[in-house]
């Protein structure tokens, strides 16, 4: 008895702890969010595009020119290129996914690009469609850099950028034949070797000839990636970038250089943009519907099932905070459909409780004591609970397997709800009910454990 | 038991509703949205004044986008339906809508789906429906694998499938009527709603059938048992919990319908109808049908 009470207390405490986490890690709820620890800061709800506003683009990749065993590689290279272009644009948390062709999704290889917060589709499409630029720049004429002390007497060097010193040359990634990763035979340091084509070789020879002892900066998409110093004229069309990078960084650089152009051509299939206001309204409506739905279910449980109903409401609260915490920790990207799945799972979560309590009522009518009736209710209702949950769960899995991102969001939250509810509605409710066995066998106790309009 | 005594009335109501739903389906037809057939949907809201439809229509025709459908929304907004638009066409459309003054409106959302994406979703939806139906038939076959008397087990299965069809057809009928009068269109969520109804309502019917067979097993002498009495008793024992489990789901669905995001409104409504008729059918349709089959068998 005391052990049960302690267990119930521990579960309540854990539930409160999880609720505290959900609260603390939500910028809309926590007023001191800015000063919260990074653990909380790193776990806000992840909102889908239809809630946060943004653009959703679907591209078709034409892989007909690629050998079938290289399709995966070229799709991954494509994703890397596009991801890099988007990152340069400064979009927070972009998602670039490959959707492979197949029996279910059709024969096309597709690339799905989600850009939260980007509502200017035109800009987004341009940014993705542009060919990345590999440029070679040389040092410009030396200009004296003026540094004046500011008003407070300090000298601010932060404003002087390296860019100003370099001027463009004709040599670009168009003249690059290939880039390879190699290791310095003496120092074993990784370095990247570039091979230009004929025209590039001539250009490069000219540039190196005129800039011995100076820096040549290699720019990718407008950002300098390496600034080697020219030691002598290079007529062979071969250049080596030796920087202080690890083999992994070197390999990445090679990948980036070789993927100067998109590995496969892409065409835009569909676009979707959602304005931020529309998303905000959807969030508010979703929260409102969740709260009202929860209250309605709680009200019904308490009015109809009395004391067990109150216990079930408590388990349902624990269910809600566990699910919300999982949404944050996994994390699950929430969409309007996902919220719908979550709200429905609140209704389904108490199904098990309803089945159990109805059995308890039957057992009470059959003349059993309150304690016996509760025990029998749990064991007898188990089979029906298992069957109905399994059938719902199978449905959720099929929906998830075959769905588009929208359907997936719904299936995922619904499926998670079903699994977690098995724990909350059965285990948690049972522990709480057992601690309540002190109410005894009196008339009041029997009334409290009965349900509905029956006496 | 009241329901079993008046079984013909309840079965009649169900048949009537299904016939009505099917009739509306054939008369009005399903309006398929851009999710499936491809196309573009642009939602704009004007800052101060909304131009009249006639005004805009004239200019929109000049764009040569084929049929352009203007649908007023809210106080100051329009939803514009067109074929799928590329980037330049989208910009042109916005320019026309804003009548040259770019700051007179805000674009709330733009959704353009190519026909091939639509075809792909259609294929996925059909596959998902086939797969879920197969899974449900397997589930029913498993649940009724033990032969029961006096009604053979495959009849239970057949009736379960019939009830399931009933549970799906009526909400679809409601949706068709709504789409005729309020312009709702069949989208991906519609398919999810249908599939979810299939999954949720089958377990409800099976729970009641399980009770019937449990009570049949308890009877000492099956041949002398009054079948309709056993069914009535089983219904008595299980209809409260059947209603209660559905009620909790219906409560949250109603909250979702009345207060939830606009994108899931029709979805919530369809599921509510599905849950309601799913419960109705497992109590008022499946069991009466079972008794009717038994009577038919006896009269042979």
Chain B residues touching A119 at Cβ < 8 A: 107
Looking at the partner chain, which of A58, A289, A336 has a beta carbon nearest the beta carbon of B259?
A289
Give the model's pLDDT for residue B212: 84
Q: Are residues A138 and A110 in the same domain?
A: no
User: How many Cβ atoms sit within 10 Å of the Cβ of residue A53?
Assistant: 22
Which tokens is A320 given?
A: 């809600």
**Closest B-chain CA to A295:** B252
Q: What is the pLDDT of residues B238-271, one digit of tens each?
A: 888 889 989 999 999 999 999 999 889 999 999 9
Give the model's pLDDT for residue A213: 81
Residues 6+ apart with CB under 8 A from B266: B175, B178, B184, B189, B190
Torsion angle, alpha carbons of B133, B144, B166, A346, to 10: -70
User: Is residue A238 a part of any domain in this protein?
Assistant: yes
Nearest Cα residue to A343 out of A319, A360, A325, A364: A319
Put simply, whether A278 touches B (Cβ < 8 Å) is yes
Looking at the partner chain, which of B84, B109, B203 has a beta carbon nearest the beta carbon of A275?
B109
Give the model's pLDDT for residue B271: 94
ipTM value of the model? Answer: 0.87
CB B190 within 8 A of CB B270: yes
User: Is residue A392 a part of any domain in this protein?
Assistant: yes
Does B17 score more than 50 pLDDT? yes
Give the model's pLDDT for residue B173: 94
The C-alpha atoms of residue A202 and residue A171 are separated, in whole angstroms, by 10
Give the total number of structural domains in chain A. Answer: 3
Question: In CATH, what number is assigned to the domain containing residue A195?
Answer: 3.30.1360.200
pLDDT band at B47 (very low <50, low <70, confident <90, very high): confident
Give the model's pLDDT for residue A133: 58
Q: What is the pLDDT of residues B48-63, one digit of tens each?
A: 888 888 888 888 888 8
Put simply, whether A65 touches B (Cβ < 8 Å) is no
Q: Are residues A13 and A122 in the same domain?
A: no
Residues 6+ apart with CB under 8 A from A379: none
Question: In CATH, what number is assigned to the domain containing residue A33?
Answer: 1.20.1640.10
User: Is residue A210 a part of any domain in this protein?
Assistant: yes
The C-alpha atoms of residue B33 and residue B187 are separated, in whole angstroms, by 5
Q: Are residues A34 and A58 in the same domain?
A: no
Which of A272, A295, A330 is the endpoint of a domain?
A: A272
Contact B128 A285 (CB under 8 A): no
Nearest Cα residue to B88 out of A311, A279, A94, A268: A268
Q: Cα separations (Å) of A25 from A36, A322, A326, B214?
A: 8, 14, 12, 50
Which tokens is A94 given?
A: 């972009």
Query: Would you list the DSSP string of B174-195?
Result: HHHHHHHHH---B-HHHHHHHH
Give the model's pLDDT for residue A391: 78
* Residues 103-122, chain A, touching B (beta carbon < 8 A): 104-106, 108, 119, 121-122
Chain B residues touching A59 at Cβ < 8 A: none
Which of A234, A249, A272 is the endpoint of a domain?
A: A272
CB B238 within 8 A of CB B161: no
Residues of chain B with CATH 3.30.70.3400: 39-113
- CATH of region B39-113: 3.30.70.3400
* Residues 324-363, chain A, touching B (beta carbon < 8 A): 336-337, 339-340, 343-344, 346-348, 350-351, 354-355, 358, 362
Give the model's pLDDT for residue A455: 42
Residues 6+ apart with CB under 8 A from A3: none
**Domain with A101 in it:** 54-131+264-272
Shortest Cα distance, chain A CAs vs residue B116, angstroms: 8
Which of A258, A285, A307 is the endpoint of a domain?
A: A258
The number of residues in chain B equals 300
Query: Would you list the DSSP string of chain B?
Result: -HHHHTHHHHHHHHHHHHHHHHHHHHHH---B-HHHH-EEEEEEEESS-PPPHHHHHHHHHTTT-S--EEEEETTTEEEEEES---HHHHHHHHHHHTTT-GGGEEEEEEEEE-HHHHHHHHHHHHHHHHHHHHHHHHHHHHHT-S--SSS-HHHHHHHHHHHHHHHHHHHHHHHHHHHHHH---B-HHHHHHHHHHHHHHHHHHHHHHHHHHHHHHH-S-GGGS-HHHHHHHHHHHHHHHHHHHHHHHHHHHHHHHHHS-GGGHHHHHHHHHHHHHHHHHHHHTHHHHHHHHHHHHHH-
Q: Are residues A362 and A413 in the same domain?
A: yes
Chain B residues touching A106 at Cβ < 8 A: 116, 119-120, 123
Q: Are residues A296 and A422 in the same domain?
A: yes
Contact B252 A343 (CB under 8 A): yes
The C-alpha atoms of residue A337 and residue A355 are separated, in whole angstroms, by 28
Q: Burial of B92 by CB count in 10 Å (0-12 exposed, 13-18 middle, 19+ buried)?
A: middle
Looking at the partner chain, which of B90, B199, B245 has a beta carbon nearest the beta carbon of A391?
B199
Looking at the partner chain, which of B119, B136, B264 has a beta carbon nearest the beta carbon of A336?
B264
User: Is residue A405 a part of any domain in this protein?
Assistant: yes
Contact B116 A60 (CB under 8 A): yes
Does pTM top 0.90 for this prediction? no
Which tokens is A302 given?
A: 């308490």
Does B290 score more than 70 pLDDT? yes
What's the per-residue H, E or C state across B32-97? Answer: ECHHHHCEEEEEEEECCCCCCHHHHHHHHHCCCCCCCEEEEECCCEEEEEECCCCHHHHHHHHHHH
Give the model's pLDDT for residue A260: 57
Question: In CATH, what number is assigned to the domain containing residue A126?
Answer: 3.30.70.3400
Give the model's pLDDT for residue A143: 57
The C-alpha atoms of residue A318 and residue A306 are separated, in whole angstroms, by 19
Taking only the tens of pLDDT, chain A with its 455 residues reads: 678 888 888 888 999 998 888 888 887 777 777 777 777 777 888 888 888 888 888 888 877 767 777 778 778 878 877 887 777 666 777 888 888 776 555 567 888 888 887 777 777 777 676 555 567 888 776 655 555 566 666 555 555 555 557 787 777 766 777 778 888 888 788 887 888 878 888 888 888 888 888 888 877 666 676 777 787 788 888 877 766 677 777 776 676 666 555 667 778 888 888 887 888 888 999 999 999 999 999 999 999 988 889 999 999 999 999 999 999 988 888 888 899 999 999 998 888 888 888 888 888 888 888 888 888 888 888 877 887 788 788 888 888 876 677 778 899 999 999 999 988 888 888 888 888 766 666 777 777 777 665 54
Q: Are residues A293 and A429 in the same domain?
A: yes
Q: How far is CA A190 from the centre of its chain?
A: 34
CATH superfamily of B2-34+116-299: Multidrug efflux transporter AcrB transmembrane domain (1.20.1640.10)
Contact A404 B124 (CB under 8 A): yes
Contact B247 A300 (CB under 8 A): yes
Q: Are residues A240 and A299 in the same domain?
A: no
Give 3-state DSSP helix, strand, coil % of chain A, rounded to 5.
55, 20, 25
Chain A residues touching B192 at Cβ < 8 A: 337, 399, 403, 407, 410-411
Looking at the partner chain, which of B120, B261, B268 has a beta carbon nearest the beta carbon of A105?
B120
Q: Cα separations (Å) of A139 from A168, A217, A282, B242, B265?
A: 9, 8, 53, 80, 62
Q: Are residues A294 and A411 in the same domain?
A: yes
CB B206 within 8 A of CB B54: no
Looking at the partner chain, which of B121, B196, B255 has a beta carbon nearest the beta carbon of A289?
B255
Q: Are residues A87 and A110 in the same domain?
A: yes
Q: Are residues A282 and A427 in the same domain?
A: yes
The C-alpha atoms of residue A58 and residue A126 are separated, in whole angstroms, by 14
Q: What is the pLDDT of residues B148-202, one digit of tens each?
A: 667 777 788 888 888 989 999 999 999 999 888 887 888 888 988 988 888 888 8
Q: What is the pLDDT of residues B94-129, one digit of tens each?
A: 888 887 777 788 888 888 888 887 888 888 888 888
Chain A residues touching B82 at Cβ < 8 A: none
Q: Are residues A82 and A168 in the same domain?
A: no
Q: Are residues A140 and A234 in the same domain?
A: yes
Residues of chain B with CATH 1.20.1640.10: 2-34+116-299
pLDDT band at B11 (very low <50, low <70, confident <90, very high): very high
Shortest Cα distance, chain B CAs vs residue A50, angstroms: 9
């Amino acid at each position: 008895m005391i052990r049960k009470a302690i267990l119930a207390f521990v579960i309540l405490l854990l539930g409160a702890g999880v609720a505290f986490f959900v609260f603390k890690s939500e910028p809309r709820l926590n007023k001191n969010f800015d000063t919260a620890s990074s653990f909380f800061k790193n776990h806000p709800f992840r909102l889908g595009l239809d809630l946060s506003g943004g653009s959703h683009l679907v591209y078709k990749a034409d892989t007909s020119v690629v050998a079938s065993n290289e399709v995966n590689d070229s799709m991954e290279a494509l994703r890397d290129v596009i991801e890099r272009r988007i990152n340069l644009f400064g979009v927070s948390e972009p998602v670039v996914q490959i959707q492979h062709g197949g029996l279910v999704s059709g024969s096309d290889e597709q690339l799905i690009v989600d850009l939260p917060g980007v509502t200017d589709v035109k800009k987004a499409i341009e940014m993705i469609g542009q060919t990345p630029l590999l440029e070679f720049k040389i040092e410009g004429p030396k200009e004296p850099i003026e540094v004046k002390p500011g008003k407070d007497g300090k000298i601010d060097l932060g404003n002087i950028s390296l860019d100003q010193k370099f001027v463009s040359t004709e040599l670009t990634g168009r003249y690059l034949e290939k880039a390879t990763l190699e290791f310095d035979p003496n120092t074993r340091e990784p370095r990247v070797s570039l091979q230009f084509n004929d025209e590039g070789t001539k250009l490069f020879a000219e540039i190196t000839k005129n800039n011995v002892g100076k820096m040549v900066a290699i720019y990718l998409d407008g950002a300098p990636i390496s600034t080697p110093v020219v030691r002598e004229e290079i007529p062979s069309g071969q250049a080596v970038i030796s920087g202080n990078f690890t083999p992994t960084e070197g390999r990445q650089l090679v990948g980036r250089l070789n993927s100067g152009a998109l590995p496969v051509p892409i065409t835009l299939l569909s676009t979707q943009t959602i304005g931020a206001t529309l998303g905000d309204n959807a969030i508010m409506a979703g929260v409102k519907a969740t709260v009202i739905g929860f209250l309605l279910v709680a009200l019904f449980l308490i009015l109809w099932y009395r004391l067990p109903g109150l216990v079930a409401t408590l388990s349902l609260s624990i269910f809600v905070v566990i699910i919300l915490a999982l949404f944050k920790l996994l994390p699950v990207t929430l969409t309007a459909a996902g919220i719908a799945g979550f709200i429905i799972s609140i209704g389904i979560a108490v199904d098990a409780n309803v089945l159990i309590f109805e059995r308890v009522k039957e057992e009470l009518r059959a003349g059993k004591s309150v304690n016996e009736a509760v025990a029998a209710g749990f064991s007898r209702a188990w089979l029906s609970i298992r069957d109905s949950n399994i059938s719902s769960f199978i449905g959720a899995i099929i929906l998830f397997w075959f769905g588009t991102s929208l359907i997936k969001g719904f299936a995922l939250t619904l499926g998670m709800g079903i699994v977690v509810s098995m724990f909350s509605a059965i285990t948690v409710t049972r522990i709480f009910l057992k601690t309540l066995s002190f109410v005894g066998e009196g008339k009041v106790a029997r009334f409290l454990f009965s349900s509905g309009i029956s006496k | 038991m009241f329901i079993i005594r008046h079984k013909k009335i309840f079965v009649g109501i169900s048949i009537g509703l299904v016939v009505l739903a099917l009739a509306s389906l054939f008369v009005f037809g399903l309006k398929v949205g851009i999710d499936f057939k491809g196309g573009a949907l642009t939602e704009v809201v004007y800052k101060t004044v909304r131009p009249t439809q006639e005004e805009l229509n004239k200019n929109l025709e000049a764009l040569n986008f084929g049929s352009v459908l203007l649908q007023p929304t809210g106080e100051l907004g329009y939803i514009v339906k067109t074929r799928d638009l590329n980037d330049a066409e989208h910009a042109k459309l916005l320019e026309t809508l804003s009548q040259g003054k770019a700051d007179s409106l805000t674009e709330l959302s733009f959704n353009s789906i190519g026909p091939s994406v639509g075809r792909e979703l259609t294929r996925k939806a059909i596959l998902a429906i086939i797969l879920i139906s197969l899974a449900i038939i397997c589930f029913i076959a498993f649940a009724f694998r033990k032969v029961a008397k006096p009604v053979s087990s495959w009849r239970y299965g057949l009736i379960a499938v019939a009830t399931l069809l009933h549970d799906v057809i009526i909400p679809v009928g409601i949706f068709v009527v709504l789409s005729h009068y309020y312009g709702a269109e069949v989208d991906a969520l519609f398919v999810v709603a249908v599939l979810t109804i299939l999954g949720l309502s089958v377990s409800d019917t099976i729970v009641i059938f399980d009770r019937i067979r449990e009570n049949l097993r308890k009877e000492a002498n099956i041949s002398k048992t009054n079948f309709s009495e056993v069914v009535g008793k089983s219904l008595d024992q299980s209809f409260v919990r059947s209603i209660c489990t559905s009620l909790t789901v219906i409560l949250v669905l109603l909250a979702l319908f009345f207060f939830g995001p606009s994108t899931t409104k029709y979805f919530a409504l369809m599921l509510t109808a599905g849950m309601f008729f799913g419960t109705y059918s497992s109590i008022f349709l499946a069991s009466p049908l079972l008794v009717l089959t038994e009577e038919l068998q006896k009269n042979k």
